[in-house]
């Protein structure tokens, strides 16, 4: 399982951060391979974030262009 730290900046590859979409808080994952940002708890995904930060099911980068990232992740500093 790949541990993903919370970002201290906008979009640092291999991190996560909170975002806002309308009136909903979303979690944005920044791919450690290609640097693309994607929601992991948006309406278009089926991911669940457990209380300890573990994301299930595994995360696949949805960037166009052939990114190969696919792994189980845990969000560090998840609250």
Taking the alpha carbons at both ends of the chain, their separation in whole angstroms is 19
- Residue 17, pLDDT score: 94
DSSP assignments along the chain, one per residue: -EEEPBPSSS--TTEEEEEEETTEEEEEEE-TTT--EEESSSTT---EE-TTSBEES-EE---TTT---EE-EEETT--
Tens of pLDDT, residues 36-74: 998 888 677 889 999 999 999 999 998 888 899 999 999
Confidence at residue 66, expressed as pLDDT on a 0 to 100 scale: 84
Count how many domains the chain has. 1
Domain that holds residue 61: 2-75
């Amino acid at each position: 399982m790949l541990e993903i730290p919370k970002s201290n900046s906008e979009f640092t590859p291999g991190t996560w951060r909170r975002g806002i979409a309308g009136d909903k808080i979303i979690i944005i994952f920044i791919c450690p391979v290609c640097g693309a940002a994607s929601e992991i708890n948006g309406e278009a995904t089926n991911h669940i974030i457990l209380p300890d930060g573990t994301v299930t099911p595994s995360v696949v980068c949805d960037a166009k262009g052939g990114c190969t990232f696919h792994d189980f992740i845990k969000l560090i500093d998840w609250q």
